[in-house]
Amino acid sequence: MLKRWLSVGLILIAVGLTSGVTAHADSDDSTLATAPTGVTLTGDNPPLTPSTQALNRAQIAPSHAYSQVVTLTQGADQFGAVWSTNDHAFRLNRNQTVSAWLDLGQSADGGIAFVLQNDPQLLNAMPKFTTPIAETLGVWGVDTTPTQSSAKALIQTAIQNSWALAFDAGNHAQTNAQAPGQANSFDVGATSPHVAAGYPGAAATYQSHKVSGALGGLLTPNQYAYSLVHQGLLPVADLANGQWHHVTLRWRAAARTMTVTVNDRNPRTNAAQTGQRRTMAVDLNQVDPSHTGYALGLYRDDGAARDV
């Protein structure tokens, strides 16, 4: 069974996206039985709601008597997404702390991305694909047109007005002459698995790699494949080991930075650990061009920074 899981920590809310191509969990029972205690995600004022896209496979499942997890994908070639509800929209002008447990299975592909977005499609936001493509992680552009010499058209296929933090277990690093149009080159130059960020709807996020046509493109056209310009690249060797991993995100509104710490709690004892950390600047003009002060995405509104 190919699945990806998200367990939201105590009184904390998170959102995840994934395209689950070769993720693996030993079994549903095993994954749920070992899930750290989280919160109830349903009720009169739920913090999260599944995407309204027809392709969405995300479901909320019980894991313990008083907690639930999100099953993002049910099998191969699938897309799953849950977003914050309107009442719990991410407030960009306040310090926020968000925490979650992630289980990517024993994966060789795909992953999970946390996203802040003001896409006009709102809960329908997703890449413009008809069949989920692993390297997009449900957020990046769709690189299936081999003759596009710039990222202008590519970025229109991604989630717009967004910043994505990807937990990527894939190794999409194809560089040969057949790479254009294969949607398999976003990880060129990156260690796999890894955590990294970027702006899915921004041209500067994508770097082109040209495969010259015959006679310099005169006889047959030049073709192009794209890789991602990774922000805050953080290799995480055990990310896809079939275990639960605790992640903490700390948003600092004044500095406009997001700090991600991976593996900062023990999945069996919940004891604090050092983990691995990166701090990245976030350009709010990319995320919130209308300056609303809000984004759909991750949320814990405590009005000030506070350790989890």
Among 161, 164, 68, which Cα is nearest to 112's? 164
- Give the model's confidence band at 17: pLDDT under 50 very low, under 70 low, under 90 confident, else very high: very low
Query: What DSSP state is assigned to residue 239?
Result: T
- Can you give the pLDDT at residue 21? 25
Q: What's the predicted TM-score (pTM) here?
A: 0.84
66 by DSSP, 3-state: which? Answer: coil
- Can you give the pLDDT at residue 116? 92
* 244 contacts 35 by C-beta, under 8 angstroms: yes
Q: Is the pLDDT of residue 297 over 70?
A: no
Q: What phi and psi, each to the nearest 5 degrees, are found at residue 215?
A: 55, 45
Q: Is the pLDDT of residue 176 over 60?
A: yes
Contacts with 83 (C-beta within 8 Å, 6 or more apart), sequence order: 15, 48, 49, 50, 51, 122, 123, 125, 296, 297
Q: Which of 39-43, 50-54, 163-167, 261-265 has the lowest mean pLDDT?
A: 39-43
Cα-to-chain-centroid distance, residue 252: 20
Q: Is the pLDDT of residue 237 over 70?
A: yes
- Can you give the pLDDT at residue 205? 98
Q: For residue 81, what are the β-bridge partners?
A: 17
- Can you give the pLDDT at residue 44? 63
Residue 215: both structure tokens together = 């006679």
- Can you give the pLDDT at residue 134? 87
- Give the model's confidence band at 305: pLDDT under 50 very low, under 70 low, under 90 confident, else very high: very low
28 by DSSP, 3-state: which? Answer: helix
What percent of the chain is modeled with pLDDT above 90?
44
